[in-house]
Amino acid sequence: MEPIAYVNGSFVPHSEAKVSVFDRGFLFADGIYEVAAVLDGKLVDNASHLARLERSVGEIQLKLPETLARIEEIQKELVKRNNIESGLVYLEVTRGADTGRDFPFPKADVKSTLVMFTSSKEIIDAPSAKAGVNVITVPDLRWTRRDIKSVALLAQVLAKQAAAAAGCSEAWMIEDGKVTEGGSSSCFIVTRDDVIVTRKNGNEILPGCTRKAVVKLAEERQLRIEERAFTVEEALSAKEAFITSASVFVQGVVAIDGKKVGDGKVGPMTARLREIYVEFAKATAV
Ligand code: PDD
């Protein structure tokens, strides 16, 4: 059976899932996206993803074509139709298709485009969860509103392609000598005295939903957290490093640019935070 996607009100097989060449998402990357994990057939931390969606569209004055409640219903329906037990739901909303290519916003009667699709993915027992991942560093080439989850991802495409070419699964982006974030993840280190360090939210990074949950869960357990920028040198002399995202949850980083972090294995704090996050994800999924 061909997987089903959602396109502007209809559930259709992937081969029929199409939007116009005049769609502003295609022409201008004039759109916003979200990725939520699915565990046991349920959406993980979805309220947080929908809140960020609402904020992102607000920041670019884009009107959602459906309410957040309806969007969640569609997400659930799609997960059900595609029988996803463990995986991801991708959703994208763009400023719709006008009749040509005109930079300013189209007239009010152009409805925004809403598409969604799912993919199956083992998240809990992924081999990289145990083994950790290697990352490379690249310059951060992005615009200055990275807090908006925009579909303009060319800098991340190039960063993650460079990582893939080097046999790595993520690229850490560097600006002014400090790590901003991963191509599609938030970055953390654990210092020699067990302080968990992650960059403060602001325009320089996407406010990760997984980051937010991990910080809260760590604080509730009286673990020490510092929200500040750090350098690659600091990461290399740290005990541990890890990344967080909806698609990997909490994943150890065992080498940066070919140099070992700590003892080159997934550290105990990373493993503990992953366990705590998985427990939270399972307990609160809807
Ligand atoms: N990316 N930073 C960036 C630049 C990201 O693209 C992502 C997520 C994150 C982590 O955010 P969250 O914890 O809310 O997933 C941080 C998604 C997974 C993607 O583009 O596929």
CA 181 – ligand 1 centroid, Å: 9
* CB distance 160 to ligand 1 below 6 Å: no
pLDDT per residue as tens digits for the range 81-109: 999 999 999 999 999 999 999 999 998 78
Task: Region of 249 please: left (phi>0), alpha (psi -120 to 50) or beta.
Answer: left
- Yes or no: say if 202 and 186 are a contact pair by the CB < 8 Å rule: no
**247 Cβ closer than 6 Å to some ligand 1 atom:** yes
| pLDDT attached to residue 181 | 98
What per-residue confidence (pLDDT) applies to 107? 84
Question: Where do we find the tokens 């700590």?
Answer: 262
CA-nearest residue for atom 16, ligand 1, is 185
Enzyme catalytic residues: 149
CA distances from residue 200 to 16, 22, 228, 229 in whole angstroms, order as listed? 42, 38, 5, 7
Mutate to test the pocket of ligand 1, among 33, 35, 48, 170 (most ligand atoms within 8 A of CB): 35
pLDDT tens-digit readout, 159-198? 999 999 999 999 999 999 999 999 999 999 999 999 999 9
Q: Is the pLDDT of residue 122 over 90?
A: yes
65, 101, 145 from 22: Cα distances, Å: 18, 7, 25
> 82: Cβ below 6 Å to ligand 1?
no
Mean pLDDT, rounded, for 230-251: 98
**pLDDT > 70 in the chain, percent:** 100
Find out whether the beta carbon of 181 lies less than 6 Å from any atom of ligand 1.
yes
Query: Nearest to residue 236, comparing CAs of 215, 253, 218, 214?
Result: 253
Return the higher-pLDDT residue of 108 and 261: 261
Residues 6 or more apart whose CB falls under 8 angstroms from that of 118 comprise: 3, 38, 78, 79, 82, 84, 87, 88, 89, 90
Per-residue pLDDT tens digits for 25-82: 999 999 999 999 999 999 999 999 999 999 999 999 999 999 999 999 999 999 999 9
Ligand 1 atom closest to the CA of 181, numbered from 1: 2
The CATH class, in words, for 4-120 is alpha beta
CATH of 127-284, one of 3.20.10.10, 3.40.50.150, 3.30.930.10, 3.40.1360.10: 3.20.10.10
Mapped onto helix, strand or coil, the DSSP state of residue 229 is coil
Domain ranges of the chain: 4-120, 127-284
Ligand 1 mutation pick, 138, 185, 215, max ligand atoms within 8 A of CB: 185
**Is the confidence at residue 153, as pLDDT, over 90?**
yes
Q: How confident is the model at residue 16 (pLDDT cuts 50, 70, 90)?
A: very high
Q: Residues 160-171: pLDDT tens digits?
A: 999 999 999 999
Q: Is the CB of 35 under 6 A from ligand 1?
A: yes
Whose alpha carbon is nearest atom 4 of ligand 1? 184
Residue 245 alpha carbon to ligand 1 centre in Å: 5
The predicted structure's pLDDT at residue 109? 86
